[in-house]
Structure 1
Amino acid sequence: MAHSFTPRYSQEQILRYTGGRLGIAAVPGAGKTHILSALAAKIIQDGRLQDGQELLIVTLVNSAVDNFRTRIESFFDNKIATLYKYRVRTLHGLAHDIVREKPARVGLEERFGIIDEREAAFIRREAVNAWLASHSLDEYLDPALDQSKRDWVRRDQLPNMLDSLAMAFIRSSKDRLLTPEKLRAKLDASFTPLPLAELGYSIYADYQRALAYRGAVDFDDLIRLALTLLESDDEFLARLQYRYPFILEDEAQDSSKTQERILSLLSGSLLPERSVSEVEGSFADDALRLRHNERASAQRGGPVGNWVRVGDPNQAIFETFTTASPELLRAFIQNNPSVDMPESGRSQPAVIALANHLIDWVMTSHPIPEVRTALSVPFIVPVPEGDPQQNPPDVSEGVKFISTKFTPEQELDAVAKSVKGFVDSFADIPVEEQPTIAVLVPRNTRGVEVVNALRQKGIEPIELISSTSETRAAAGSLSHLLAYLADPQSARKLAKAYEVWRRDWREDISLRAQVAKQSPAEEENLDDEGDAAMEEHRLATVSNAELLTTTSSILRKMVNVENFVAPSHAGDWLAGLSESEAEHVIAELADFRVHIQRWLSAVTLPIDQLVLTLAQDVFSSASDLALAYKLALVLRKAADDHPDWRLPELQAELVVIAKNERRFIGFSDDD
């Protein structure tokens, strides 16, 4: 049965859309995805598409693609009716589709490659290190710094800072369609020395040479080359314009200038640059070009493109680390027919009032005038009575400001205690009826600290940071094993490998520590049988803890690791322990030695097979084994990209994931 819904007033206005350009400013919780899906379904149902045409929905992230498909199909009794009628793509996916059709036109091989974020970061870091090896930034350092501080800055601070600078420089250059050659020409024509621009150019040029050597492009290149292709091939552009007569853009506040130009061309709202200059000379900016095209289209009596853009200019988080600009959406809304979507049932009135006050204060009273354009209307409005998503009840004390000055550690403890108190307050409510709590953090590293603080209070959170603790733990465990295999003479690394091998014991000990913190009331709820089982488990846990500590200490103090791992007829280090250590310790070491010998014999395997071999011995849960498989594929790709890499370099890749320095999507137990 087809899904139906009663649209709110603003949604009704949007569903009346029949063509042309439409800008929509939507507040959080206004139902952006739902209304775009409903509009897409309406256009399909109204028969607005001809043979060979598709409605194009452009979204920001891959996770939204399936969401759109599911929602659009929910409006149809027969899902076959939607077949080949629409396409949902991310901006980068769309750019890839465009470039893949005519790669030679933009100087690419037929089978060009696309490097991922990991490989791009590696290439960029190599270019940064090469620049630092041949240049000095001492002129930018504080003269008051002593030599040790200078060395610390050069070693630990400058590489990371320069890497961030290089990433921003390269992205900005590509968004402005500036190749290294064009940038070099501009620098040569400048009368003023620009040392930081020269720095960025040098790293950018090295980075692009490395990409060319690999016959590959990065994600920013895809956007740049797609625009270049559309502006240089009128026949190809016309074919795509026919294929996509309607374009619906979600999360438009996170589009960059180049991405906006691609959609402008596809929708027929923007003439190719060279066509415009032939008609009316060279325009100074895109706004003039758009206005010219609208005038030209009006004179022809034709449309200015069927393009609907939806977004929240006050929620442009990508602006901080990409070339996205919410000002582009604001300008589009101001210069075209527009509809506001102010109704939202997501928050209670006190939260809405606070959000609206912030918008008003920034726009009218912020002490820095330049900041007053950072936020804009519409203000958030509660949904009307009868709406299926009613606002939560008004609880004025639900908004609370804490004026206490905390150290970072004190803040963590205060947050954990607050969450603990709230969780305990509804402990008697059935789990499916319990409310949820969200903790927002400024950085991923802080998120990890909050997670650890909550776990110390006996609270198991759901993580939504770059990589979950399970992913980091799995990557960390495998990295410790590879670290030992890369340096088999190290007693310290051997001891760490043993602790990984007995990771189930460590998790059991940690769980026991949490149980020990339970309240007397909780203990009273145990019956005699449960109490006996707990005591038996406690004794086993204590025994394992003692054995783990003793064995790890013995391995760490070992002088000659080889005599333990590969004993000769002349002497076996393990045999010499028989008089000083208990029998169960000797048995534990002997068992561990069997595994170590098997791991060392597997070192000659390809890295992915080695990782899976290790995983079979240290992981037992399905989710951990699935994670190991994904990590093995990551390392296999890294090894293919870098044939000269050995175990130390490959192990470093796992360390990056374990430290939460790179996003890695893992699995949950439910998956």
Structure 2
Amino acid sequence: MRDIQLRPGQKEVCDYRGGLLGVPSVPGAGKTFTLAVLTANLIKEERHLPGKILIVTYMNSAVTNFKIRIGDLLEQQGLPRNKGFDVMTLHSLAMKIIKEKPEALFLTDAFIPLDEIEQNRILQRETAQWIEENDAIFKSFIAFHEKDKSLQVKLKVDQWTKKINNVCKEMISYLKCRGVDIHRIPELSKELPQHSLLRMCLAVYDKYERYLRHMGMIDFDDLIVKSIDLLKRDEGLRERFQEKYTYIFEDEAQDSSILQEELLRILAEKRGNLARVGDSNQSIMSTFTVSDPKLFKRYCEQPQTQVSKILVSSRNSKDIIDTANYLVEWSQELHPMALCRDSLEPQMISPVGEDDPFPNPKPEGYTIGKILAKTRREELFKIAKNAEKQRDKGKTIAVLIPNGYIMDEMKEIMDQQEIPYREVSSFPKERARATEALGCILDYLAHPDDQEKFIHLLIQYLQVEIKEDEGLLKFLSNCYLENIFYPMDHDILEREVPREILDSPNWKQLLENIYMLKRFMEASTVEPEALILHIAECLHFDEEQIAIAQKVALDVQYMMLLNPNWRMAELAAQLKYIRNTYNYFANLVYERNGFMAEPGTINLITYHKSKGLEFDTVYLTCMTSEEFPAKLEDKFRSDYWFLKQDYKNPTAVAKAELDVLLGEVHSLSPIEKARVETIQERLRLLYVGITRAKENLLFSCHEAYDSDFGRKNVTPSHYFHILKNYIEEKRTNEGN
């Protein structure tokens, strides 16, 4: 292995040879690189024998990254690239365990975990049935008012109907994580009042789980639960896996859950070699998953755990490091909520030494700024224009946006200003296009006489430029589509079409698409899954889009097996309902090669999605008290406006009810506890945003935004004011 210069902290980690190790690290500290070097060193010394080194990480993209890095290091030593190690996600590991003895769990060898599409469908059915059977209880959670008009009542009922599915889904995951089997449901339910959110979730959980067991299915939460159960019950299997892996390394340990921790402890139990690497200040998943940032902290505090911190980073300029460290210090000492003063761990980032081959960036002058705009639209417009200037400088650029609604508004502004950008949110439009095109075509084939669907299909997915062609648009809106698709006489059709339309280049393009759609109609008698693949081929899908189409086709085949009487209309309606899940799958397909920021490209990305990435210039947008609350009296996005005060965060209330039944007592009310946890996590999210910037950083905020209910006033986040004052003081000092 060629000489590798290790930084303070990295060297200590690479000296590890056994026992329990905790590695708290800071952003940009090179933890992936360090674990890769450690792995290669252990393999070179053959310390992994007779087993292997197992690295468990959070994302599939991280799996690929680890394999490449370790493979490169081994290759430099003349060793095979895949010698002596495995890299897996937690769910891949659990699958591997269960595949050893699926019959013990009454599963076949070919079992596949229930995907989100089918899980959402089952939950939708079970929640709908519960609502039908418990209408009065369902409505008892809604905040109806005497002055509510019928439309307002309907809106609140519709909103709760939509959200209840997510509440039950989150609670089922939480119940499984807490070890609550359905056999305990009668015992728990009798302790609860009729009007209880937990009682509702338990009822849906019971029906959902019994259906899965009847069908011989398991979901992704079951993978972890059942793999642990299998290892505990089967001594031979447990010993086999403990012998197989000499060392267990966990990446992103700050996002670990109780179940993940237990599974890894079981595997490391015999040899006692467990190394966990993480950054508690980047724990940003706990409010919507079962991860718990306290677990990694407790692990590091155990007396038997050796702790080696990696606190040196070359990612950010000194000014940006100072800003991140200031936020940590301020939160520890001066946060307005005393309960939130431990949100960020007191681990400060240090720049690398002067002799480091990869020094910290050194931009000219002070390159941190702020914008306070009157409206959100004004704020986003200013950001767009500023980012365009950075683009001209050849910088890598990221505009961090809190949520999908604001993402859509930002895209609209960028499009209007004709500023090119790349969307890196969960479901960017270019990735969703394949699934949406398939759904839109099937929807039209189910309603071939619907002119509105036909025109929408032409404009959005078949690229027929008729939006500005008023004559052609008017003609299509008023004609009989059957006469266009199947004219009795070609000459008669041409006589009915105005000459200016016939001479339009769009007319020829329209006829080509009509011919293609006719082929789809004629092929609609074949199996639906074959039709979907035929459509994908005719639309010239690329390799990644074909993979998505194949996934859709497999699910359609399964749906038709369960619902043999479905016609095209029912199938199209179901595909539209589950479109977001296909977008999720599309994202996985597109992310196989990972993400690489390109100079001169403006990346629109959510704060959460930015974790693990870095850019020359970063814009932290919409720092309002709604998005980054700092006090209990701030407005919280997790609150449902249409529910009564005591139920505004239904998942938090249901979790609190369960905690009480399991013997846990909290000093705060469920709503207060959830708000404190949100404040803590959003502060960590802000820290993540700051530490994405290498050279230039700009904070921005607004005082009002337009909604369907008119203009809403908002207040800048307390953090915005704190950082604004800090920046102004630093600028003043720079001037002196």
Into which bin does the TM-score normalised by the smaller protein fall?
0.7 to 0.9
CA shift digits 1:583-620 (9 cap, x unpaired)? 43676665554333222112123334323433455x45
CA shift digits 1:474-508 (9 cap, x unpaired)? 433333322211101212222233335750x54xx
Change (3 A) 1:318 1:106: same
Partner of 2:49: helix, strand, or coil? coil
The equivalent residue for 1:128 is 127
Partner of 1:459: helix, strand, or coil? coil
Q: What is the identity, as a one-letter code, of the residue corresponding to 2:264?
A: L
- Please give the residue correspondences for 1:47-62 in structure 2 after superposition, counting only pairs within 5 Å: 47-51=46-50, 53-62=51-60
CA contact (8 A) 2:435 2:582 kept: no
The equivalent residue for 1:387 is 356
The equivalent residue for 1:574 is 493
Residue 184, structure 1, aligned to residue 186, structure 2? yes
Change (3 A) 1:473 1:589: closer
CA contact (8 A) 2:435 2:549 kept: no
Looking at structure 1, the residues matched to 434 and 462 of structure 2 have their Cα atoms a distance apart, in angstroms, of 13
Looking at structure 2, the residues matched to 670 and 237 of structure 1 have their Cα atoms a distance apart, in angstroms, of 34
Match of 1:171 among 165, 170, 173: 173
The equivalent residue for 1:602 is 523
Q: Which moved more, 1:606-615 or 1:326-335?
A: 606-615
Q: Which moved more, 1:393-402 or 1:221-230?
A: 393-402
The equivalent residue for 2:286 is 319
Change (3 A) 1:471 1:650: farther
Match of 1:64 among 62, 65, 84: 62
Looking at structure 2, the residues matched to 612 and 198 of structure 1 have their Cα atoms a distance apart, in angstroms, of 44
Following TM superposition, by how much is the alpha carbon of 1:578 offset from its aligned partner in structure 2, in angstroms?
4.8
CA contact (8 A) 2:432 2:583 kept: no
Residue 22, structure 1, aligned to residue 25, structure 2? no
CA contact (8 A) 1:26 1:311 kept: yes
The higher radius of gyration belongs to: 1
CA contact (8 A) 2:472 2:501 kept: no
Residue 398, structure 1, aligned to residue 399, structure 2? no
When normalised by structure 1's length, the TM-score is 0.80
Partner of 1:397: helix, strand, or coil? coil
Residue 350, structure 1, aligned to residue 292, structure 2? no
Looking at structure 2, the residues matched to 239 and 660 of structure 1 have their Cα atoms a distance apart, in angstroms, of 37
Looking at structure 1, the residues matched to 417 and 592 of structure 2 have their Cα atoms a distance apart, in angstroms, of 22
CA shift digits 1:79-104 (9 cap, x unpaired)? 54565511111111111111111223
Change (3 A) 1:500 1:573: farther
The equivalent residue for 1:565 is 485
Looking at structure 2, the residues matched to 664 and 590 of structure 1 have their Cα atoms a distance apart, in angstroms, of 31
Looking at structure 2, the residues matched to 574 and 441 of structure 1 have their Cα atoms a distance apart, in angstroms, of 51
Change (3 A) 1:421 1:343: same
Change (3 A) 1:590 1:237: closer
Looking at structure 1, the residues matched to 119 and 349 of structure 2 have their Cα atoms a distance apart, in angstroms, of 40
Match of 1:152 among 155, 160, 164: 155
Looking at structure 2, the residues matched to 382 and 587 of structure 1 have their Cα atoms a distance apart, in angstroms, of 62
Q: What is the identity, as a one-letter code, of the residue corresponding to 1:465?
A: S
Q: What is the identity, as a one-letter code, of the residue corresponding to 1:85?
A: G
Match of 1:308 among 262, 267, 275: 275
Change (3 A) 1:400 1:648: farther
Change (3 A) 1:191 1:444: closer
The equivalent residue for 1:73 is 71
The equivalent residue for 2:38 is 39
The equivalent residue for 1:535 is none
Looking at structure 2, the residues matched to 591 and 73 of structure 1 have their Cα atoms a distance apart, in angstroms, of 50
The equivalent residue for 1:367 is 336
Residue 224, structure 1, aligned to residue 225, structure 2? yes
Q: Between Structure 1 and Structure 2, which shows a larger proportion of strand residues?
A: 2
- Please give the residue correspondences for 1:237-256 in structure 2 after superposition, counting only pairs within 5 Å: 237-256=238-257
Following TM superposition, by how much is the alpha carbon of 1:197 offset from its aligned partner in structure 2, in angstroms?
0.9
- Please give the residue correspondences for 1:382-531 in structure 2 after superposition, counting only pairs within 5 Å: 382-393=351-362, 397-407=366-376, 409-424=377-392, 426=393, 434-499=394-459, 502-503=462-463, 506=465
- Please give the residue correspondences for 1:533-548 in structure 2 after superposition, counting only pairs within 5 Å: 548=469
CA contact (8 A) 1:55 1:244 kept: yes
CA contact (8 A) 1:475 1:658 kept: no
Looking at structure 2, the residues matched to 373 and 647 of structure 1 have their Cα atoms a distance apart, in angstroms, of 55
Looking at structure 1, the residues matched to 181 and 227 of structure 2 have their Cα atoms a distance apart, in angstroms, of 14
Looking at structure 2, the residues matched to 12 and 669 of structure 1 have their Cα atoms a distance apart, in angstroms, of 31
CA contact (8 A) 1:255 1:326 kept: yes
User: Which ranges in structure 2 are unaligned for 5 or more consecutive residues?
Assistant: 595-736
Looking at structure 2, the residues matched to 355 and 113 of structure 1 have their Cα atoms a distance apart, in angstroms, of 44
CA contact (8 A) 2:544 2:590 kept: yes
Identity across matched positions, percent: 28
Residue 648, structure 1, aligned to residue 569, structure 2? yes
When normalised by structure 2's length, the TM-score is 0.73
CA contact (8 A) 1:479 1:655 kept: no
Looking at structure 1, the residues matched to 81 and 508 of structure 2 have their Cα atoms a distance apart, in angstroms, of 65
CA shift digits 1:348-386 (9 cap, x unpaired)? 111111111111222222222222222112111111111
Looking at structure 1, the residues matched to 351 and 365 of structure 2 have their Cα atoms a distance apart, in angstroms, of 15
Match of 1:334 among 298, 301, 309: 301
Q: What is the identity, as a one-letter code, of the residue corresponding to 1:331?
A: R
Partner of 1:245: helix, strand, or coil? strand
Change (3 A) 1:486 1:191: closer
CA contact (8 A) 1:608 1:632 kept: no
CA contact (8 A) 2:250 2:277 kept: yes
Looking at structure 1, the residues matched to 85 and 593 of structure 2 have their Cα atoms a distance apart, in angstroms, of 31
Partner of 1:400: helix, strand, or coil? strand
Change (3 A) 1:615 1:660: closer
Following TM superposition, by how much is the alpha carbon of 1:552 offset from its aligned partner in structure 2, in angstroms?
2.9
Q: Which moved more, 1:200-209 or 1:640-649?
A: 640-649
Partner of 2:9: helix, strand, or coil? helix
CA contact (8 A) 1:480 1:500 kept: no
CA shift digits 1:384-414 (9 cap, x unpaired)? 111122111166632223233423x233222
CA contact (8 A) 2:552 2:582 kept: no
Partner of 2:64: helix, strand, or coil? helix
CA shift digits 1:237-295 (9 cap, x unpaired)? 222212112111110111100110111111117xxxxxxxxxxxxxxxxxxxxxxxxxx
Looking at structure 2, the residues matched to 96 and 656 of structure 1 have their Cα atoms a distance apart, in angstroms, of 25
CA contact (8 A) 1:23 1:333 kept: yes
Change (3 A) 1:184 1:356: farther
Change (3 A) 1:450 1:126: same
The equivalent residue for 1:86 is 85
CA contact (8 A) 1:4 1:75 kept: no
Change (3 A) 1:379 1:565: same
Looking at structure 2, the residues matched to 383 and 443 of structure 1 have their Cα atoms a distance apart, in angstroms, of 34
Partner of 1:340: helix, strand, or coil? coil
CA shift digits 1:551-609 (9 cap, x unpaired)? 23211122x3333333447x997255156765436766655543332221121233343
CA shift digits 1:145-165 (9 cap, x unpaired)? 33321111212x112321221
The equivalent residue for 1:289 is none
CA shift digits 1:515-538 (9 cap, x unpaired)? xxxxxxxxxxxxxxxxxxxxxxxx
Partner of 2:345: helix, strand, or coil? coil
Q: What is the identity, as a one-letter code, of the residue corresponding to 2:248?
A: I
Partner of 1:379: helix, strand, or coil? coil
Aligned residues: 579
CA contact (8 A) 1:609 1:632 kept: no
Q: What is the identity, as a one-letter code, of the residue corresponding to 1:227?
A: I
Q: Which moved more, 1:233-242 or 1:585-594?
A: 585-594
Residue 634, structure 1, aligned to residue 548, structure 2? no
CA contact (8 A) 1:466 1:664 kept: no
Q: Which moved more, 1:198-207 or 1:578-587?
A: 578-587
CA shift digits 1:322-353 (9 cap, x unpaired)? 10011000001111221111111111111111
